[in-house]
Chain A
């Protein structure tokens, strides 16, 4: 959009470890010189039973859901900070897939990075996950980072 020097990338975090891994995965192969800005986006869903769960910041204490989202977004942003491109932080409110797509649209993003969970029953049979819904309606290419295959305990 406004930027002609590089791509605006939206990195979504739902507070899961996998979303942190997704951000690191982006850094493992992309060329930071071609990225103008990275927006780290977290979404609080007020109607859901857990509006936001932060498993990555390591913060403790009694936090509100929005504070948890801020912490998770800051954690992912900190990982990306030294990489080069300008990093901005955003916490939105609403339905995660919707808000990620809106954030990408508003920013004129050239890439959205999201994490996706396992290949479990719930992803296959039940309604699609946030990652699937983002892929469906994102205004740009979507990088879905799946967990590395692990041996079962």
Chain B
């Protein structure tokens, strides 16, 4: 943030090629992206799947994700454009269909993630004010984030940093509760090796990992800012992997703390599991105040991560419109705000549609947990994208290497690839219903493509070929 005053000589000519994202800022960006998602929203569900040893699920999930992170780190130092998976797949395979599908899968994942997070937000909200119906809270939440994105507050580095610090403070509170509890001599450590399904520990862990994996989503958004990172070949791998590792350590410690303080059944059945840790009343502060404070912290954390997803959605749609694979309207930016209004409104609409569908399914008696379902959908979509990124990374070895581009250890990438595929197989086999949701989201992307095919000809001046961005203005 503190930029050294430019000397007159540096200002005099083209000396303005300044990048603004330092390694430290990128670290906080990654940490903030990652922390808000899983731990606040899904910790109860993970505990339910695994049992008292659910910290292990977070540890494994973080590790598999971090191996994928290594591939991102390598690719982002080689291709520091502000684009992620689709760019890498395009570089590796030069196949437009594959690139398009990668983009659509990733876009769909951000829709599902935003939906899951919005539902998680509503649960914390319901803990402090239960009057408004959850669906209404979710819709207002999604609408407000779209508005924030439109205004462009997201550009603020300071706000980003502040939100991340709030997220960390919330988790430190949980840790503090755990430490005090252990200090009082009440802790029963045997719970930490306790598995709910006694017969098959491996399956219990994989089940938890699949959900815990959602907790790591968001790290790939770091590719968004790769272009503006100072000295990316040094800073990017460090900040990305460092941020993920830090998040992983925090997750494991928070899981252990929660498991020690609160019975696993209570965690599993709670709508807002981390609040149960606060409700245990360990801290020397009135519980009602702490619950309120913590719920607000949790909501800020979830908002931060959701906001990054929302920003990413509109950015992807904007990029797709620039490449002429979705209608040109998505590339239109507001004349003053410079934000892609159509893309923002459309994204909010899709996320709300997901939440409404979930609500309707519940009303007609199909009991689904919208948070878990959309998290599973996100994980399925992302696992495919992540696997593609690792393959692209391996395929691009020997191309575009520079002396200082980061090179990820091949063995770890292969472990990551296998890990992604195992998890993918597991999630699909246990929750085949999530594929329907995936298909629905992908269909939205394909519909946009068809709309572009149909209408693109009409709004394209004669003689201009597809692939040439046409003027989005008036």
Contacts and interface: CB of A to CB of B under 8 A. Distances in A.
Interface residues of B, number: 56
Interface in A1-32: 1-2, 14-18
B235 to A, nearest CB: 13
Nearest to B315: A49
Which residue among A46, A55, A123 has the maximum number of chain B CB atoms within 10 Å of its CB? A46
Interface in A24-78: 39, 41, 44-53, 55, 58, 60-62, 64-66
Chain A interface size range: 35 or more
Contacts of B16: 39, 41, 88-92, 103
A46 B228 contact: yes
Contacts of B3: 102
Contacts of A130: 336
A106 B335 CA distance: 28
Contacts of B335: 16-18, 117-118, 147
B12 A46 contact: no
A117 B224 contact: no
A135 interface: no
A14 B17 contact: no
B18 A64 contact: no
B152 A48 contact: yes
Contacts of A18: 335-336
Given A55-B471, A117-B335, A49 B149 contact: yes
A93 to B, nearest CB: 4
A20 B344 CA distance: 26
Q: Is the interface of A mostly helix, strand, loop or mixed?
A: loop
Contacts of A41: 16
Query: Which of A52, A95, A127 has the most C-beta atoms of chain B within 10 angstroms of its own C-beta?
Result: A95
A126 B151 contact: yes
Residue in B5, B153, B154, B335 with the greatest tally of chain A CB atoms within 10 Å: B335
B348 to A, nearest CB: 12
Given A51-B82, A65-B82, A60 B160 contact: no
B156 A50 contact: no
Interface string A87-118: 01111111110000011011110000000111
Given A16-B336, A53-B338, A64-B82, A48 B311 contact: yes
B437 to A, nearest CB: 24
Contacts of A88: 11-14, 16
B19 interface: yes
A66 B337 CA distance: 18
Contact of A46 (B6, B21, B314): B21
B15 A46 contact: no
Contacts of B333: 50, 53, 55
A58 B464 CA distance: 13
Given A47-B155, A65-B82, A116 B14 contact: no
B67 to A, nearest CB: 26
A15 B155 contact: no
Interface in B102-157: 149-157
Contacts of A91: 16-18
B323 A129 contact: no
Given A55-B472, A64-B227, A116-B336, A46 B8 contact: no
Nearest to A59: B469
Nearest to B224: A46
Contacts of A1: 8
Interface in B301-339: 310-312, 314-315, 318, 322-323, 333-339
A47 B225 contact: yes
11 contacts: A48-B339, A49-B310, A51-B227, A51-B228, A53-B333, A64-B227, A102-B3, A108-B8, A117-B337, A122-B336, A130-B336
Interface of B: 3, 5-6, 8, 11-21, 29, 81-83, 149-157, 160, 224-225, 227-228, 310-312, 314-315, 318, 322-323, 333-340, 343-344, 468-469, 471-473
Given A51-B227, A106-B6, A117-B334, 18 more contacts: A39-B11, A41-B16, A47-B29, A47-B155, A47-B225, A48-B339, A49-B311, A50-B314, A50-B315, A51-B82, A62-B323, A64-B83, A89-B16, A90-B14, A93-B19, A102-B3, A108-B8, A129-B337
